[in-house]
Amino acid sequence: MPTSEPDRVPGRRAARLAVVDPATGETFGEAPDQQPDELDAVVDRAHRAWHGWRADPVARTTALRAAADAVETAGDDLARLLTREQGKPLAESYAEIARTAARLRYFADLAPRTRRITDGRPMHSEIRWRPLGPVAAIVPWNFPLQLAAAKFAPALAAGNTMVLKPSPFTPLATRLLGSVLATALPEDVLTVVTGREPLGARLASHPGIRHVTFTGSVPTGRAVAEAAAASLARVTLELGGNDAAVLLDDVEVDRIADRLFWAAFRNCGQVCMAVKRVYAPARLHAEVVEALAQRAKTVAVGPGLNAETRLGPVNNAPQLARVEQVTKQALADGARAAAGGHRLDGPGYFFAPTILTDVPPSSPVVAEEQFGPVLPVLPYRRLDEAVAAANGTGFGLGGSVWGTDLDRAEAVADRLECGTAWINHHAELSLAQPFAGVKNSGVGVAGGLWGLYGNLRPFVVHRPQEA
């Protein structure tokens, strides 16, 4: 969901972005509010840096490994700043930084394969892979560092240079990451720019950019694709999700309840591939609601910097308003809150972890992406109904099936219309696997070799076998 943007710092209009700590609701930092016309010089420098960066794959591997080391060395500073501006518990920030370094290391050692093709004629074709040039990454506020790394690690490993724009809600940790990476990478290989929607729109349409890789909401993804059409740049879109978890009738509720709860509530539910709807057999529905509600009522909610916190605040005021609105709408539509259902008193953007039952399927909390700490649990009578409902939205990012008979669970998972289906867990990814949504959840493929090739173009040389 596109959200309105942060306030400008009073008295310095158009110059700085105010950055709010979601645990207090107060501004604690600022970042440059760069303007679209600043991008020409940035892209020009990225283009000049590209000629050196593309030339030497061995130097690239060395630099990217050094970049991973530098990220780990700066881990404490990055983690505190990330928690401060994003809200997530400190342990989750450390995990995000570890994943950032892991992406750099993984792609540092990945290389495209040159292939030779013969077709019986006295000639062969050799397929070599070439980088695209300066590319752009535009990312959201839920995992600012790891989502950026999922873009810059393959792009740089492929020999491109990159201009990276974080969300205006979370520019600070990304700026710090940019300066940490600059200690290991040649100048202008990766440039972080910060600003609002017009800066993103110009970046997406800039004639010097050859690939726009975007993660964010569906409406903004459409705008990015339209903007990139101006220069016919390649586009990769990783968009929203409304993942369903389908519980089978042989599921052991006690065994899976913790995993299911965290699959929905990690990062305060602000995960593209979080469980956003649960379908439980009618016979087990009350037990599932009770198990999840008990966890929602007792989980430690608080500022991410507090050691005991497991669930932080929602990241920003417009998103909190959205979560509150879809919850109120569900309650007005006849739902009952088995836990939560309201904002928490006090400063900051806190919302009580919420489990909803008796929700009509048409209510936005089921039909759309809530992207917050609210989970509807819906009963079903026939498995076909549950599969049809799981597949019945415009999204197709992920989905999961939970049960004791793994073969049966896998057969049901195979019927889900999405990019990734999990059995008895959700949202686990390996660096080596492809990641792609179907329907409105995305265009193009990220992850593993697919992510690398997404940042390359084939260059084919035909030659006869003999002179």
Give, rounded to a whole angstrom, the gap between the first and last alpha carbons of the chain.
60
Letter string b/e over residues 437-450, b meaning 16 or more CB atoms within 10 A of that residue's CB: bebbbbbbbbbbbb
Catalytic: 92?
A: no
Question: Tokens 């400008």 correspond to what residue?
Answer: 8
* Catalytic annotation, pick one of 30, 92, 238, 369: 238
What residues numbered 137-176 form the site for ligand NAD, per CB under 6 A? 138-142, 147, 165, 167-168
What residues numbered 224-253 form the site for ligand NAD, per CB under 6 A? 224, 227, 238-241
419 makes contact with ligand NAD (CB under 6 A)? no
> Minimum CB separation from ligand NAD for residue 312, in Å?
16
Task: Give the C-alpha separation, 191 to 40, whole Å.
Answer: 13
Q: Give the count of beta carbons closer than 10 Å to the beta carbon of residue 51.
A: 10
Which of residues 81, 87, 369, 378 is near ligand NAD by CB under 6 A? 369
| 241 closest CA partner among 212, 207, 275 | 275
Q: Taking the alpha carbons of 38, 41, 44, 50 in that order, is the dihedral positive or negative? A: negative
- Mask: binding to ligand NAD, 271-300, rule CB under 6 A, as x and -? -x----------------------------
- Mask: binding to ligand NAD, 92-131, rule CB under 6 A, as x and -? ----------------------------------------
DSSP label at residue 266? G
> Minimum CB separation from ligand NAD for residue 140, in Å?
3
Minimum CB distance to ligand NAD smaller for 36 or for 131: 36
Question: Is 202 within 8 Å of 39 (Cβ atoms)?
Answer: yes
Minimum CB distance to ligand NAD smaller for 222 or for 462: 222
Minimum CB distance to ligand NAD smaller for 288 or for 427: 427
Dihedral of the alpha carbons of 36, 37, 39, 40, in degrees to the nearest 10: 150
Helical pair 75-86 and 57-73, crossing angle rounded to 10 deg = 70
Q: Which stretch binds ligand NAD (CB under 6 A): 53-61, 73-81, 134-142, 281-289?
A: 134-142
> Minimum CB separation from ligand NAD for residue 141, in Å?
5
What residues numbered 313-352 form the site for ligand NAD, per CB under 6 A? none
- Which amino acid is it at 266? R
Dump the DSSP string for 418-451.
Answer: SSEEEESS-S---TTS-B---GGGEES-BSHHHH
Q: Which residue is nearest to ligand NAD (CB)?
A: 200
- Mask: binding to ligand NAD, 186-225, rule CB under 6 A, as x and -? -----------x--xx--x----------xxx--x--xx-
Task: Give the C-alpha separation, 443 to 226, whole Å.
Answer: 13
Minimum CB distance to ligand NAD smaller for 42 or for 227: 227
**188 phi and psi, to 5 degrees?**
70, 10
Footprint of ligand NAD (CB under 6 A) = 1-3, 138-142, 147, 165, 167-168, 197, 200-201, 204, 215-217, 220, 223-224, 227, 238-241, 272, 369, 371, 397, 437, 442
Q: Show which residues are catalytic.
A: 238
